[in-house]
A = this chain, B = another copy of it.
């Protein structure tokens, strides 16, 4: 087993809205070997900016890095990357997956890499693009605790609240728990704000007053003002939360359990996406709630 990643460097796969600023923070900490991205332009621009390498393939990246950090879109992407990098990873290496995918995918990836003596940590993040840029992400980790310790310098370069939740998959399960909660809260806040507006209440004063009470939440304090203005800049995009809730649904189905809160959010998000609001913040749920009150008293509920 190798020593902690003191002077060691990570290759980064997936320079999206989250991945690019996370890779930049690794570079600032002197921990980035280089990056690979599906569209090579981004990797070359990052390489030029940070004096690191733009790799031609994930296999090449794996052969030149002590650790691999990835931030991709879907469960299939994670397993595809794992299979592609596996032949070139040295035993004792660590793969850190910051994507949001299912816990079973994390467990499968961990099993495939364990065969080669490589550790896999599922490390989904929360805190959005702002948190990724500022290096203030919360990172929820599942996997071998020794590998988690060794990965500390890399994780601390990208996030602020870094918690080991348990074995493989537990990082993803924690993230899924959070996404279910967000789904219900944003619907509650949207419905309450639509009601308050219909009652003619001064919305700023409502937010200030109720924001101090037992009905308050991060989403109420930070997103109800969007609703009051009728503007929904992302934030956390409707279509991304919908993707995450699809993962939650599959995970719950393994227990034979429905997730009524998540299902209703998926229905609302489906309508928002149809109406062209998929790239707005999830607070756009207010649009649908407000519409219920705009039908007028004769048409009923």
Binding site for B on A (CB under 8 A): 103, 126-128, 138, 140, 161, 163, 165-166, 169-170, 173-174, 176-185, 187-189, 191-196, 198-202, 205-206, 208-210, 212-220, 222, 236, 248, 251-262, 264, 292-293, 295-301
A213 touches B301 (CB 8 A): no
A173 with B199, Cβ < 8 A, contacts A217-B217, A296-B256 known: yes
Whole-angstrom CA separation of A192 from B260 in the bound complex: 11
A203 nearest in chain B by CB position: B177
Whole-angstrom CA separation of A236 from B215 in the bound complex: 12
A295 with B257, Cβ < 8 A, contacts A214-B127, A248-B195 known: yes
A163 with B214, Cβ < 8 A, contacts A181-B220, A188-B188 known: no
A261 nearest in chain B by CB position: B191
- Min Cβ gap A97→B in Å is 18
Partner pick for A205 among B165, B262, B293, B297, CB 8 A cutoff:
B165
A188 touches B184 (CB 8 A): yes
24 sample A-B contacts, Cβ–Cβ < 8 Å, listed by A number: A165-B206, A166-B201, A169-B199, A170-B199, A174-B206, A177-B206, A177-B210, A178-B213, A180-B188, A181-B192, A182-B214, A185-B217, A187-B188, A187-B261, A188-B261, A195-B248, A195-B257, A198-B255, A213-B218, A256-B298, A256-B300, A256-B301, A257-B293, A258-B292
A198 nearest in chain B by CB position: B255
User: Beyond the given A169-B199, A184-B184, A215-B218, could you list 19 further A-B residue pairs with CB under 8 A, ordered by the A residue number?
Assistant: A126-B213, A140-B209, A161-B209, A163-B209, A173-B196, A173-B199, A174-B201, A177-B201, A180-B192, A184-B187, A185-B188, A191-B261, A195-B259, A198-B257, A214-B218, A216-B217, A217-B218, A255-B297, A257-B295
